[in-house]
Amino acid sequence: MLRLGRREFGPHEPVIMAIVNRTPDSFYDRGATFRDEPALARVEQAVAEGAAIIDIGGVKAGPGEEVTAEEEARRTVGFVAEVRRWFPDVIISVDTWRAEVGAAVCEAGADLLNDAWGGVDPGLAEVAARYGVGLVCTHAGGAEPRTRPHRVEYDDVMADILDVTVGLAERALALGVPRESIMIDPGHDFGKNTRHSLEATRRLGEMVATGWPVLVSLSNKDFVGETLDRPVKERVVGTLATTAVSAWLGAQVYRVHEVAETRQVLEMVGAIAGWREPAVARRGLA
């Protein structure tokens, strides 16, 4: 059972996490949701399309202009409070690696801390424990936040992913983070080249076998673009293909830009696997 905020999810119940960037320079939407009004409209649309989690980020993942903790908090804390006010039942996640920002957003109503940089600030897990919120434990290959991988090597990339993410999850549990609110994430693109990310996808079942719920953040990433030689705005098909494979292998949570399309993919895979019934079944029966 996965428990986040007011919601509980069964083992074969997929969960969509919609991305809402409060940054002027995000790689995908180029600042489309930097201002409050379009950001709230994005939340409303994502919830209507089937997102259970809204993931709010105040710093883009890649290199760029420095964003201090104070500025990150300015971009996220008030917005978390506003989303909580307008959407009381939605699960609010904040994508941050900083403990001080994590504490501030938890005070404002966040339910989940998405630590995409692999525990670079050990205090973030302590914040999750203190507030009783969920935590995403990600493999980033030891990379510093907002850096790109350069000639990174692994003897066995999945072995390293398992060692790091399970270790982070066990530490979080020991600190007091609720077990049912901890997820592990292979960290596609983070501290990895394209071949590493493809292998991590291919071997995702090894993460699922640990018993920790697996979150994947695949949406329009560089490993999709390089695999298909497509620019950012032409990676949706490759993303959805990777989503289908990840669903078949047992991932549960999907951090995405395209909510409606992802939902259809997950429902189709679930029906093929026998985890859900078709929405309509009239063919050959009427």
Q: Kindly state the helix (H) or strand (E) to which residue 4 belongs, with its residue range.
A: strand 2-4
**DSSP per residue over 17-75, as a string?**
EEEEE--SS-TTTTTTTSSHHHHHHHHHHHHHHT-SEEEEESS-SSS-S---HHHHHHH
What dihedral do alpha carbons 63, 69, 74, 75 form, nearest 10°?
30
240-245: Cβ within 8 A, 24+ apart? 240/265, 242/201, 242/218, 243/216, 243/218, 244/268, 244/269, 245/201, 245/202, 245/204
Please give the positions annotated as active site.
221, 255
